[in-house]
Structure formats: C-alpha cells, structure tokens
C-alpha cells in the first residue's frame, strides 16, 4: 500500500524534493504516525512550522469555524480575522503596518519591493542594492533566490535579479566596506536556519543596525524561521535589543496553514499605496483565524518561557553528546532552533534516527537541525539524545 503510493508519487510529482520513505497519515502534539501506524517523535515540526504541535485543537477549531462561515473574499473587502491579526502583530512588535501573503518567499518579495519603493519615492531611483549574507536563505522565487547567499540554490537559474550583494555573516567590517549610499537595505536572518543554525556573535546585529543607520539604509530581518517563538522570544531580534525597519514572517505563523507577513514601521510602509503590491489569497480569513488562535494559545500556555526552558535543557543534553563523541564538532542555536555540527555527513544519522522513531533533518550536509514543536517534553528530548548517543557511538 505504502510503496504503491510512494511509487505513484515519484512518477507524477515534479522531482524537486528528496523525500524520506514515509507516508505520514496523522499527527498529534509532537507525534506523527505513518501508514504502518508506526509512531515518530517529531523534532522538525514541518521545518519550524507546527510550533504548537500537530493538529492543535485551538487551531483546528478556528479553521473549522472560519471555513464554515467565510473562506475567501479577496482584498477588495475588509474581514475581521485579517484585521484582528494585523492589529495583534502590530501590538506585539516594533511594526505599525502589516502586509499578508502566503509564504516566506512572498513575504521577502514584499520586503524587497518595499525597500526599493521607499527610496524611489524619495527621488533616489538608483538606490536599489540590497546586501544579504553568505549562507543565507530567503526563498526560491527569482527575487528571493537572488537574495540567497548559497550557490547550490542559485545555480542554473541565471540571469538572477540584479541589485544583490553578499557579505559573510558575523563580519561587520565586510558589511561596512560593502555598504554605501546606493544600498537601500541590508537583509539578514537573526539566526541563520538553512545556513546551518548560525547565531550572531555578541553585538553583531546592533553593529549591523548602526552600519545601516550611518548611510540611511533600511534593515530587514528575515524571521520566517526564527519568528513566532522559535528562539524563546516572539521574534528572535528581541534577544539582541535591535529593531529592524522591516520584518518578514511565515513558517510558524499559522501552525501549518500557509500564511506569510511583512511588517514595517509607518515611515517605511508608507511607500506602499493602493496598487503597489497585492496577492489574491493574502490574509485570507481562514489562515488569519488560524494565526489568531496561534497567538492566543502561545500567550495562554506561556509558550515562550517554556521554549526558553526546554531549549536550554535540550542544548545542555546535546553538549553532553559533544563531550562524549569526537564526531560532534559543535552545538549551537537559540531556544528550540538547535544545530549539532558533525565532522561527517549527517544524512546517515537522519535515516538511523528515523528507523528508531525520531524525525530530525540535516542542513549544509553536516549540521543536524532540531526544530521540534515548542511543546516538546523533556522525556522526548531524553529519548532522542539516547538514540543519537547510540547512533554516534556505532559510527565511531
């Protein structure tokens, strides 16, 4: 049965994903079940998406009720869920205005367009360059691909969009050398996710803010992966006491429902007027109802404090593995976005863990990435750690 479906899938899907051989049927909390009814503890959460766990009843209820009342009307009209969600995000962030879309890439597209339009409106028509970071990831559309600092992702799609320059992450001197009055914005992930779970060094993001301010460039934080509590604060930049001019969100915003958002200050957002930018499904009432339920649940269940505590415990346990296994080169991350860098390819470990009922993944070939639902329990972490202990021991 399972093989029939995976073979069929492989014959009809565009061949863009390297899938694990699991047919997932159902989820609840931090557990997923496949078609053989085998249970897996999920340390990936759909790539940092299902932060409240799978099939969360508050989100399911919100979707059910909203879908039975109104699914879509377009942005030619006002709806209550979109209004309330925007107001909640404004209240909880540095931002004054929100543009809704359907994915992380689209949120970054909106940010790129807004930054360029801001300077165009001020008569600086040649000020369109955006500086991004090496090993960054901003999405797969032509614009966000051009912003992404990874050759393997850009390869084969030339010509890319002009006006993007890259500097190494965590290198303020390189940024200072690159920046000029022709740069409209610097775009950076506060913690690089796909790039290998790379944290900013002390003072780096504040330095980036200052370098932008010195030439009047805008600062864009791509919080598509780090936002919505993943790092133990609602937005990762809050750890570093630095506010951007523009921020993008997506992944965990709808706990699995497809929604993205671009948030900006009044000054910058005013560059968008009617007709400047649009998307049919953006801020659709169903996904906004889901996101409202997410925000409400995060508050009610004290998810941020829980994430900080569980994240610290998880990191401590991973550091124990590092002290026991020579093949662990580094443990890093913030909150429940953690990485363990190996001295070898990590994909064998991912498969071995899957056999034992734990779902993790590997980025940049050698970095195991852990991004479980924020409601993960310590005993589940203990289970994964002892599983990894065995796997790493058997590889040595």
Selection from 82, 97, 84, 193 nearest residue 138 by Cα: 193
> Which residue in the set 27, 29, 53, 104 belongs to the binding site for ligand PLP (CB under 6 A)?
104
**139: contact with ligand PLP by CB under 6 A:** yes
Catalytic residue list = 137, 222, 251
> Which residue in the set 149, 163, 193, 200 belongs to the binding site for ligand PLP (CB under 6 A)?
193
As measured in angstroms, the least distance from the Cβ of 250 to ligand PLP is 5
Which residues, numbered 106-125, are part of the site for ligand PLP (CB under 6 A)?
108
**246: contact with ligand PLP by CB under 6 A:** no
Rounded CA-CA distance 36/38 in Å is 5
> Which residue in the set 105, 220, 259, 318 belongs to the binding site for ligand PLP (CB under 6 A)?
105
**388: contact with ligand PLP by CB under 6 A:** no
Interacting stretch for ligand PLP, rule CB under 6 A, among 37-45, 99-107, 123-131, 331-339?
Answer: 99-107
**194: contact with ligand PLP by CB under 6 A:** yes
Interacting stretch for ligand PLP, rule CB under 6 A, among 221-229, 270-278, 334-342, 380-388?
Answer: 221-229
**189: contact with ligand PLP by CB under 6 A:** yes
Interacting stretch for ligand PLP, rule CB under 6 A, among 126-134, 187-195, 198-206, 372-380?
Answer: 187-195
As measured in angstroms, the least distance from the Cβ of 135 to ligand PLP is 11
**287: contact with ligand PLP by CB under 6 A:** no
Interacting stretch for ligand PLP, rule CB under 6 A, among 14-22, 51-59, 218-226, 276-284?
Answer: 218-226
> Which residue in the set 82, 132, 146, 225 belongs to the binding site for ligand PLP (CB under 6 A)?
225
Name the residue nearer to ligand PLP (CB basis): 107 or 303: 107
As measured in angstroms, the least distance from the Cβ of 219 to ligand PLP is 15
Cα–Cα separations (whole angstroms), residue 311 to 70, 224, 307, 383: 38, 19, 6, 15
> Which residue in the set 137, 235, 240, 358 belongs to the binding site for ligand PLP (CB under 6 A)?
137
Number of residues that bind ligand PLP (CB under 6 A): 15
> Which residue in the set 59, 133, 220, 224 belongs to the binding site for ligand PLP (CB under 6 A)?
224
**49: contact with ligand PLP by CB under 6 A:** no
Interacting stretch for ligand PLP, rule CB under 6 A, among 104-112, 156-164, 309-317, 321-329?
Answer: 104-112
Q: Residue 132, Cβ neighbours under 10 Å: how many?
A: 27
Q: Residue 232, Cβ neighbours under 10 Å: how many?
A: 23
Selection from 356, 355, 360, 313 nearest residue 340 by Cα: 360
**250: contact with ligand PLP by CB under 6 A:** yes
> Which residue in the set 56, 116, 135, 138 belongs to the binding site for ligand PLP (CB under 6 A)?
138
Q: Which residue is nearest to ligand PLP (CB)?
A: 104
**190: contact with ligand PLP by CB under 6 A:** no
One-letter-per-residue 3-state SS of the chain: CHHHHHHHHHHHCCCCCCCCCCCEEEEEECEEEECCCCEEEECCHHHHCCCCCECCHHHHHHHHHHHHHCCCCCCCCCCHHHHHHHHHHHHHCCCCEEEEECCHHHHHHHHHHHHHHHHHHCCCCCCCEEEEEECCCCCCCHHHHHHCECHHHHCCCCCCCCCEEEECCCCHHHHHHHCCCCEEEEEECCCECCCCCECCCCCHHHHHHHHHHHHCCEEEEECCCCCCCCCCCCCHHHHHCCCCCEEEECHHHHECECCEEEEECHHHHCCCCCCCCCCCCCCCHHHHHHHHHHHHHHHHCCHHHHHHHHHHHHHHHHHHHHHHCCCEEEEEEECCEEEEEECCCCHHHHHHHHHCCEECEEECCCEEEECCCCCCCHHHHHHHHHHHHHHHHHHC
As measured in angstroms, the least distance from the Cβ of 70 to ligand PLP is 24
Name the residue nearer to ligand PLP (CB basis): 167 or 391: 167
Q: How far is CA 378 from the centre of its chain?
A: 23
Q: Which residues bind ligand PLP (CB under 6 A)?
A: 103-105, 108, 137-139, 189, 193-194, 222, 224-225, 250-251
């Amino acid at each position: 049965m399972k093989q029939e479906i995976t073979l069929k899938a492989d014959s009809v899907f565009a061949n863009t994903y390297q899938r694990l051989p699991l047919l997932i049927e159902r989820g609840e909390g931090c557990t997923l079940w496949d078609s053989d009814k085998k249970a897996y503890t999920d340390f990936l959460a759909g790539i940092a998406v299902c932060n409240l766990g799978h099939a969360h009843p508050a989100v399911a209820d919100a979707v059910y009720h909203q879908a039975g009342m109104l699914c879509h009307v377009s942005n030619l009209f006002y709806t209550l869920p979109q209004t309330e969600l925007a107001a909640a995000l404004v209240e909880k962030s540095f931002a004054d205005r929100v543009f809704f879309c359907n994915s992380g890439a689209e949120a970054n597209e909106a940010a790129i367009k807004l930054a360029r339009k801001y300077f165009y409106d001020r008569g600086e028509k040649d000020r369109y360059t955006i500086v991004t970071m090496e090993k960054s990831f901003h999405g797969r559309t032509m614009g966000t691909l051009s912003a992404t600092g990874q050759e393997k992702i850009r390869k084969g799609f030339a010509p890319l969009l002009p006006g993007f320059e890259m500097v190494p992450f965590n290198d303020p001197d390189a940024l200072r050398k690159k920046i000029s009055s022709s740069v409209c914005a610097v775009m950076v992930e506060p913690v690089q996710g796909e790039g290998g779970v790379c944290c900013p060094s002390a003072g780096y993001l504040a330095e980036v803010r200052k370098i932008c301010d010195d030439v009047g460039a805008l600062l864009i934080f791509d919080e598509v992966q780090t936002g919505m509590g993943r790092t133990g604060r609602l937005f990762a930049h809050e750890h570093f006491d630095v506010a951007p001019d523009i921020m993008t969100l997506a992944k965990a915003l709808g706990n699995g429902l497809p929604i993205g958002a671009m948030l900006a200050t009044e000054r910058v957002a005013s560059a968008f007027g009617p007709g400047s930018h649009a998307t049919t499904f953006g801020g659709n009432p169903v996904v906004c109802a889901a996101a409202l339920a997410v925000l409400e649940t995060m508050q009610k269940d004290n998810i941020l404090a829980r994430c900080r505590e569980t994240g610290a415990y998880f990191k401590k346990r991973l550091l124990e593995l590092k002290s026991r296994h020579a093949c662990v080169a580094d443990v890093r991350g913030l909150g429940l976005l953690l990485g363990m860098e190996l001295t070898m390819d990590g994909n064998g470990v991912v498969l071995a863990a899957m056999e034992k009922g734990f779902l993790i993944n590997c980025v940049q070939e050698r970095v195991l990435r852990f991004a479980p639902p924020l409601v993960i329990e310590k005993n589940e972490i203990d289970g994964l750690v002892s599983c990894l202990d065995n796997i790493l021991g058997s590889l040595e």
